[in-house]
Amino acid sequence: MAQKRALITGITGQDGSYLAEFLLAKNYKVFGLTRRTSTPNYERIKHIEDKIELIPGDLLDQQSLTSAVEYSNPDEIYNLAAQSFVATSWSQPVLTGEFTALGATRMLEALRQVKPKAKFYQASSSEMFGKVVETPQTEKTPFHPRSPYGVAKVYGHWITINYRESYDLFAVSGILFNHESPRRGLEFVTRKISNGVARIKLGLSKNIALGNLDAKRDWGFAGDYVEAMWLMLQQDNPGDYVIATGTNHSVEEFVKAAFEAIGEGSWKKYVKISKEFMRPAEVDFLIGDAAKAQKILGWKPKVSFKQLVKMMVDSDIELLKKNSK
């Protein structure tokens, strides 16, 4: 059988790096779209850089996306690139719309014009549920996004379905709940906490400044979630799936578990609440029901909340020790 070919946008990001590893292990030829930066930011993919092929391109630039599809001639396209930080979407709402919403249309256009037989994955988000109208959230739960990012993702979700219905494409939307890892960006709350706790443990900081500790998220491990993306594209028919653990925890519970991971029982003295990290509109509570994915894809998360927190704290301690040498 011919070697399968995959094009990943957002390969330098958390999910892109795990997905690239996953596909390489399945013997795929992996291409990754990277945008120009004045210094390369290949930190997350440096261990596999010689096994993948990077193609320059930007979600803002249709021609570069069309050329990337032409060049890579993919069987599968994973559109993971986005402005993915919710807080930034209020300070850069138009840019977020350009990347996260219209970027999906540009990728779909590239696919439609160059390789309509390729299978397409759109990285949709539980952030679309926002002010949730039912619990737990499923593929049928209506959306009420609470941030410009969430609104942009709703657009990305529906344009994917629209292209599937209009042009008979194999285009799917994965509605993924929060997933974290040692490769998570430092601005997201879980990594901010694991990094902060590691710094406190090593005597490099005295406290962590956070915003709303009451928000609850359904947190899973990114390594488990990229398998679900791939499984969605291995089906005979395209469909949209919720991917989640089915359990949730508050930010406060994450903080507590992270301090417990270093054997520190009293976390309160280390945490400062700062208005700077409060949002104009909050998503208070997310919990997903991944029964459809379990039934059709045979997918289940493997890493528990406690294992995830410990994995992140341990990794940050090791990283800080290594960097201080």
Site for ligand GDD contains 250 (CB under 6 A): no
Site for ligand GDD contains 188 (CB under 6 A): yes
Active site residue 173: no
Window 150-179: contact mask with ligand GDD (x via CB under 6 A): ---------------------------xx-
Q: Give Cα 37 to chain centroid, integer Å.
A: 21
Select from 189, 257, 311, 317 the one that contacts ligand GDD (CB under 6 A): 189
Tell me how far CA of residue 62 lies from CA of 77, 97, 109, 231, in angstroms: 15, 15, 8, 28
- Smaller CB distance to ligand NAP: residue 143 or 267? 143
Single-letter amino acid code for the residue at 40:
P
Single-letter amino acid code for the residue at 36:
R
252, two tokens: 């406060």
Site for ligand GDD contains 205 (CB under 6 A): no
- Smaller CB distance to ligand GDD: residue 32 or 150? 150
Q: 89 burial class (0-12, 13-18, 19+ CB within 10 angstroms)?
A: buried
Active site residue 125: yes
Binding site for ligand NAP (CB under 6 A): 9-10, 12-16, 33, 35, 37, 41, 58-60, 80-84, 99, 123, 125, 176, 178-179, 185
DSSP 169: -
Residues 249-283: b if buried by 16+ CB within 10 A, e if exposed? bbbbbbbbbbbbbeeeeebeebbeeeeeeeeeebb
Point out which residues bind ligand GDD (CB under 6 A). 84, 86-87, 125-127, 177-178, 187-190, 192, 210-212, 215, 217, 251, 277, 279, 282-283
| Catalytic machinery residues | 125, 127, 149
